[in-house]
């Protein structure tokens, strides 16, 4: 018998989430998780904007080359290690604790950044920021995936990294304002507002429930059931969907308990786990190695290379790019299950390749022939490039990495994702200004080659996960690419049926024992 699709199971909620009290709370708490990436978007746009603010350049001596690369990379370096601390906290003490501790560190780092009296203190603040950010980026995607209502999970997960651009847009606008604020507060004011992100996260997640999967793993089954009942069925204890969710989670966790104790070596023990690890690493590496890292942190020198030099023009383009990215991210995130992950990957990578090639050609024309029109023509293609980037690389990598991993490996996989991402980012951000200064537009060719490789990786490695539950997706890589979706659903169905049979057998045995007594 084929297992019912979760959309067909009766549920004590309204069809529209905004009309349902339980779902409104659920969305509210999911948005708190989404705000965990506000700091990173804010920082990216802040550093770009500050490079165009005269007061910042005067205070720190107009850093460029190696020095600018160190400033940009400093936020990523500590995350290489602290991501694994985030895994320990999230796995042992709960997803919320990883978010709370990380948010407090981001708050402290933002204050140090804004009140810096020298370049060393400014970099130190960024190190603290990065340390806390790694903890939140392990805890938040896990908690979001594990508390979201099944019907809302794909959209909420798709929106997660889109909140990067809420920070980016906020920072870009404040940097424009900074141009008109006299003295050092012209750059300190935008920097200090970065505390807004962690403040919102702490305010929202302090009332958020802990992950039901974590609670069941810790033996707190009744508490987990109360969470599911409250947020997924408005307190209806016998709700069919909640009962189905609970049974599916218990069956999946029980199956994992039959295996040896979870460790990082588990990623190498089975073919499915090796494929999961390859997917996670390729996604983490690709988030800033497909050309966007050059545009994100070094928009100012990129624009100067095509003839845009006025601070108000640079900060204005920075704000426009942030708004454009936010719009694309929200639309794509809300429709992630409608579009599908694989079609988004192919459209994104192919579009990025074409638009980046045009930017390279126009930048070359400006550099070699000082053709002002060619330089200005590159700007719309930068917007087009980032629009294609946002189609896939914003809504998919983090949630996809979380959902393809079984519970026992989820926080470990996200720790690997975060650590590898930050190793790649640190190297990328340190090298970018040096290479851009040395070979200018020719440097774009490196990213064109990377994009060509990623098109092949996407075709071979990334599985389609739309319209599946979290537990179904978590076993997807244990089956072949062709037909694997249905096999994953059937396998989980058998696990649930087996678990129910065991419970029935235990109950029958208890009854017979009672009769004999």
Q: What is the DSSP string of 155-193?
A: HHHHHGGGGHHHHHHHHHHHHHHHTTS-TTHHHHHHHHG
| Inter-residue contact 78 to 127 (CB < 8 Å) | yes
Q: Is residue 168 part of a domain?
A: yes
Looking at mean pLDDT, say which of 1-10, 317-326, 488-497 comes out highest.
Answer: 317-326
Task: Give residue 452's domain range.
Answer: 14-478
Q: Taking residues 118-124, what's their average pLDDT?
A: 93
Q: What is the pLDDT of residues 404-426, one digit of tens each?
A: 999 889 999 999 999 998 888 87
The residue assigned the tokens 């396998």 is 491
pLDDT for 438 equals 77
Is 113 a domain residue? yes
User: What's the pLDDT band for 360 if we cut at 50, 70, 90?
Assistant: confident
Instruction: Work out how many domains the chain is built from and give that number.
Output: 1
Residue 381 has a pLDDT of 86
User: Which pLDDT belongs to residue 363?
Assistant: 76
Report pLDDT for 498: 67
The pLDDT tens digits for 40-64 are 889 888 888 888 888 998 999 888 7
Q: List all residues 6 or more positions away from 269 whose beta carbon is below 8 Å from its beta carbon.
A: none
92: in domain: yes
- Mean pLDDT across 459-477: 88
Would you place residue 514 in the very low, low, confident or very high pLDDT band (cuts 50, 70, 90)? very low
Of 225-239, 318-332, 431-445, the least confident: 431-445
**pLDDT level of residue 504 (50, 70, 90 thresholds):** very low
When comparing pLDDT for 399 and 503, which is higher?
399
- pLDDT value, residue 415: 93
The CATH number that applies at residue 54 is 1.20.1250.20
- The reply to whether 513 falls in a domain is no
On whether the CB atoms of residues 86 and 102 are closer than 8 A, the answer is yes
User: Cβ(168)–Cβ(193) under 8 Å?
Assistant: no
- pLDDT computed for residue 27 by the predictor: 96
Candidate from 260-264, 303-307, 396-400, 434-438 with smallest mean pLDDT: 303-307
Instruction: Give 71's contacts (C-beta < 8 A, 6+ positions apart).
Output: 47, 63, 119, 122, 123, 126
Residue 511 domain-assigned? no
Average the pLDDT over 213-239 and give the result.
Answer: 94
Q: How far apart are CA 56 and CA 16, in angstroms?
A: 47
More confident site: 203 or 427: 203
Whole-angstrom distance, CA of residue 488 vs CA of residue 495: 11
Q: Compute the average pLDDT of residues 34-45.
A: 90
7 part of a folded domain: no
Helix pair 196-205, 119-147: axis angle to 10 deg = 30
pLDDT value at residue 474: 85
Q: Cα separation of 477 and 70, whole Å?
A: 38
Q: How confident is the model at residue 4 (pLDDT cuts 50, 70, 90)?
A: low
**Is there a contact between 370 and 351 (Cβ–Cβ < 8 Å)?**
no
Q: Is residue 493 part of a domain?
A: no
Q: In the structure, what pLDDT confidence band is assigned to residue 513 with cuts at 50, 70 and 90?
A: very low
pLDDT reported for residue 35? 93
Min mean pLDDT across 110-124, 138-152, 387-401, 432-446 is at 432-446
Name every residue whose Cβ is closer than 8 Å to that of residue 279 and which is 6 or more positions away in sequence: 400, 401, 404, 461, 462, 463, 477
pLDDT in tens, 155-187: 999 999 889 899 989 998 898 888 889 889 999
Share of the chain above pLDDT 70, in %: 90
CA angle 146/149/155 to nearest 5° reads 90
Q: Look at residue 96 and tell me whether its pLDDT is greater than 70.
A: yes
pLDDT at site 368:
74
CA-based end-to-end distance of the chain = 38
Q: Is the pLDDT of residue 261 over 70?
A: no
Give the pLDDT band (50/70/90) at residue 298: low
What would the mean pLDDT of 125-130 be, rounded to a whole number? Answer: 94
Question: Is the pLDDT confidence value at 243 over 80?
Answer: yes
Question: Of the given ranges (224-233, 332-341, 463-472, 483-492), which has the lowest mean pLDDT?
Answer: 483-492
Mean of per-residue pLDDT scores for the chain = 86
For residue 508, pLDDT over 50 is answered with: no
Query: What pLDDT, on a 0 to 100 scale, did the predictor assign at position 501?
Result: 63
What is the arithmetic mean of pLDDT over 96-124?
95
Question: Which pLDDT score, from 0 to 100, does residue 139 have?
Answer: 93
pLDDT at 300: 66
Q: What is the average per-residue pLDDT within 277-300?
A: 82
**How many CB atoms sit inside 10 A of residue 258's CB?**
6
What phi, psi does 490 have (nearest 5°)? -65, -35
Residue 503 located in a structural domain: no
Mean pLDDT of 239-251: 92
């Amino acid at each position: 018998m084929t297992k019912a699709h979760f959309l067909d199971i009766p549920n004590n909620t309204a069809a529209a989430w905004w009309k349902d009290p339980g779902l409104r709370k659920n969305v509210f708490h999911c948005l708190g998780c989404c705000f965990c990436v506000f700091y990173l978007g804010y920082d990216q746009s802040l550093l770009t904007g500050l490079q165009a603010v005269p007061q910042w350049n005067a205070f720190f001596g107009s850093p460029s080359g190696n020095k600018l690369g160190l400033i940009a990379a400093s936020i990523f370096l500590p995350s290489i290690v602290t991501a694994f601390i985030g895994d320990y906290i999230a796995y042992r003490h709960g997803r919320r604790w990883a978010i709370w501790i990380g948010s407090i560190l981001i708050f402290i780092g933002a204050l140090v950044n804004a009140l810096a009296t020298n370049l060393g203190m400014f970099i130190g603040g960024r190190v603290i920021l990065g340390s806390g950010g790694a903890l939140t980026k392990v805890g938040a995607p896990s908690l979001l995936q594990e508390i979201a209502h099944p019907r809302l999970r794909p959209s909420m997960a798709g929106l997660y990294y889109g909140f990067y651009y809420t920070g980016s847009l906020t920072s870009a606008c404040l940097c424009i304002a900074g141009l008109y604020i006299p003295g050092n507060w012209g750059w300190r004011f935008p920097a200090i507002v970065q505390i807004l992100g962690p403040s919102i996260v702490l305010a929202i997640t302090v009332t958020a429930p802990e992950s039901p999967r974590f609670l069941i793993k810790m033996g707190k089954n009744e508490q987990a059931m109360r969470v599911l009942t409250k947020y997924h069925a408005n307190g209806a204890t016998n709700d069919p969907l909640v009962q189905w969710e609970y049974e599916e989670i218990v069956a999946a966790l029980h199956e994992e308990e039959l295996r040896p104790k979870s460790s990082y070596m588990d990623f190498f023990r089975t073919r499915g786990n090796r494929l999961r690890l390859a997917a996670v690493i390729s996604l983490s590496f690709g988030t800033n190695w497909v050309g966007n890292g050059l545009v994100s942190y070094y928009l100012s020198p990129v624009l100067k290379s095509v003839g845009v030099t006025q601070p108000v023009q640079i900060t204005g383009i920075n704000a426009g790019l942030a708004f454009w990215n936010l719009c694309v991210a929200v639309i794509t995130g809300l429709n992630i299950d409608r579009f599908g992950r694989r079609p988004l990957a192919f459209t994104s990578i192919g579009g990025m390749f074409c638009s980046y090639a045009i930017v390279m050609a126009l930048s070359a024309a400006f550099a070699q022939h000082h053709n002002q029109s060619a330089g200005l023509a590159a700007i719309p293609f930068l917007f087009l490039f980032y629009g294609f980037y946002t189609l896939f690389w914003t809504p998919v990598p983090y949630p996809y990495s979380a959902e393809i991993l079984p519970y026992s490996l989820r926080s470990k996989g996200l720790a690997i994702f975060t650590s590898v991402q930050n190793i790649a980012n640190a190297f990328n951000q340190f090298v970018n200004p040096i290479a851009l200064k040395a070979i200018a537009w020719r440097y774009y060719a490196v990213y064109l080659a990377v994009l060509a490789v990623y098109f092949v990786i996407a075709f071979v490695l990334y599985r389609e996960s739309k319209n599946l539950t979290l537990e179904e997706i978590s076993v997807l890589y244990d089956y072949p690419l062709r037909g694997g979706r249905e096999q994953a659903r059937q396998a989980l169905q058998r696990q649930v049926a087996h678990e129910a049979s065991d419970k029935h057998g235990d109950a029958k045995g208890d009854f017979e024992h009672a009769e004999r007594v």
